[in-house]
Amino acid sequence: MKRLILCIAIIVVIISVSVFSLLTIKNKNEHLIETLNAVTEYAEDKKTDLALEKIDEFSRLWKKYYICVSFLVESSCLEDISNSCAKLKALLMKDSEELYSECEAIKYGITLIYNNEFPYLHSIF
Amino acid sequence: MLIVFFRAIILYALVILSIRLMGKRQIGELQPSELVITILVSNIATLPIEDTTIPMTTGIIPMLTLVSLDVIMSTLTLRSRKLRQIVSGNPKVIISNGVIDQKQMKNLRFSVDDLMESLHDYNIFDISEVQYAIVETTGKISVMQKNDYRSLTPSDIELYSETKNPPQILIDDGVVMHGAIDFLGLDMKFLNDTLRKNNVEVSDVFLMSCDEDKNYKLVKKEDSN
């Protein structure tokens, strides 16, 4: 009986942790995407200082998020985003159009993390 | 390198925990569902060890889920005969009254060689000696010999004796086994008196076994002689 209770507890913990991690990813994704949107807006308006601040904020958030999400997602997916993240400042300083495409790539990568974790029917099968 | 090392340690502990969680039945003969779980667990455990880009959780979660489901399932099958039949199947009789059920053997995809091999395990080399044989849900064949070929037992010659539990180990390499003392209905006084009589300390004893009639066997440690 003890074994059964332990196993039921394990299943409950796994489900709870999975749901909690999914919600955490969703919330943090929204925050990261908002910050990136702010970066692109400031860059379009040529407000470089504000855009730089937002890039720094995004980098800080991403570092924290990376540690948290690396428990759930393959690190190769996260490294692609980290690489794009490292380019942002330089692209902003060069006033390159590539900044927007890198931001879009990061947004897509972040969205993909959540989508890959969410148990859609097509993901399960 | 160190990541792989630590991952291997964690997963080793987890696999042992999983097998323990599945219970002693797992170590012996495997039911179909247990065989599946064992194969899956061993495969899942290797993935995060080999590939460090895969998070440990992708190994830990399916492993614990599978083992937990197996324990829950085995509890449910204990309560429901129907579910037990679905999960584990039914035992099938392949020899009854000395007659082989060829249709059943075909259904089970059992060859004559398989049958003979199993009979050899019971020291039976002539199929005419078999009264009844059944294929258990684990795939093992259990055999009952005809009375004429069975070994003689004390009850056959009406030789009745009291059945007793086997001797228990009271001291194992200098350590007293309190569980065994309780099992035999003895106490520490008996143990201490016996040791005193033999002029030894507990730490000098390599092995001491005893039965319910207080017949004991004491082996001293070689260096204490």
pTM of the predicted structure, to 2 decimals: 0.68
Per CATH, the architecture of B168-224 is what?
2-Layer Sandwich (3.30)
* Interface residue A122 vs chain B (CB under 8 A): no
Tell whether the torsion through CA atoms of B83, B86, B88 and B92 is positive or negative.
positive
Instruction: Tell me the nearest-neighbour CA distance from A107 into chain B, angstroms.
Output: 22
pLDDT for res B224:
52
CATH superfamily name and code, B92-149: bsu07140 like domains (3.30.240.20)
B21: which chain A residues are within 8 Å (Cβ-Cβ)?
3, 6-7
Contact B69 A11 (CB under 8 A): yes
Judged by CB atoms closer than 8 Å, whether chains meet at A4 and B55 is answered as no
Are B72 and A10 a contacting pair at CB < 8 A? Answer: no
| CA distances in angstroms from A90 to A38, A51, A84, A106, B49, listed in the order given | 17, 12, 11, 16, 37
In this complex, do B68 and A10 lie within 8 Å of one another by their Cβ atoms? yes
Q: What string of DSSP letters covers chain B? A: -HHHHHHHHHHHHHHHHHHHHH-HHHHSSPPHHHHHHHHHHHHHHHHHHH-TTS-THHHHHHHHHHHHHHHHHHHHHHH-HHHHHHHH---EEEEETTEE-HHHHHHTT--HHHHHHHHHHTT---GGGEEEEEE-TTS-EEEEE-GGGSPP-GGGGT------PPPEEEEETTEE-HHHHHHHT--HHHHHHHHHHTT--GGGEEEEEE-TT--EEEEE-GGG-
What's the pLDDT at A43?
84
Nearest chain A residue (CA) to B75: A4
Taking the CA of residue B203 and the nearest CA in chain A, the distance in Å comes to: 36
Quick one: three-class SS letters along B13-77? HHHHHHHHHHCHHHHCCCCHHHHHHHHHHHHHHHHHHHCCCCCCHHHHHHHHHHHHHHHHHHHHH
Which pLDDT belongs to residue B193?
A: 93
Digits of tens for pLDDT over chain B (225 positions)? 777 788 888 888 888 888 777 776 545 567 777 778 888 888 888 888 888 788 888 888 988 998 898 888 888 888 888 888 887 788 899 999 889 999 999 988 888 898 898 899 889 998 889 999 999 887 888 999 998 888 888 888 888 888 888 899 999 999 999 999 999 988 899 999 999 999 999 999 999 999 988 899 999 988 755
Closest by alpha carbon to B137, among B86, B73, B78? B86
Determine the distance in angstroms separating the CA of A89 from the nearest CA of chain B, rounded to an integer.
27
Average pLDDT, chain A: 86
B53: chain A residues, CB-CB within 8 Å = 74-76
Contact between A3 and B72 using a beta-carbon 8 Å cutoff: no
Do the domains spanning B92-149 and B168-224 agree at the CATH topology level? yes
Domain edges within chain B: 2-86, 92-149, 168-224
pLDDT at B176: 93
A122 or A100, which is more confident: A100
From the list B55, B64, B72, the residue facing A70 with the nearest CB is: B55
Structure tokens at A37: 């949107």
**pLDDT of A71-113, one tens digit each?**
888 777 788 888 888 888 888 888 777 888 888 889 898 888 8
Cβ contact (<8 Å) for B53 and A75? yes
Chain A CB contacts of B52 under 8 Å are: 75
Which has the closest alpha carbon to A1: B79, B138, B41, B84? B79
Chosen from B18, B19, B57 to mutate, greatest number of chain A CBs within 10 A: B57
Closest-CA residue of chain B to A117: B58
Token pair 């989508």 in the structure block, residue: A115
First-to-final CA distance of chain B: 49
> Residue B65's closest chain A neighbor by CA?
A11
- The 8-class DSSP code of residue A71 comes to T
Distance, in Å, from the CA atom of B109 to the CA atom of B91, rounded to the nearest integer, reads 14
Q: Which of A3, A72, A76 sits opposite B53 (nearest CB)?
A: A76
Which DSSP letter does residue A73 get? Answer: S
What are the structure tokens assigned to A4, written together?
Answer: 């059964």
- Residue in chain A nearest B48 by alpha carbon: A74
- Tokens 């993901």 -> residue: A123
Check if A70 contacts B (Cβ < 8 Å). Answer: yes
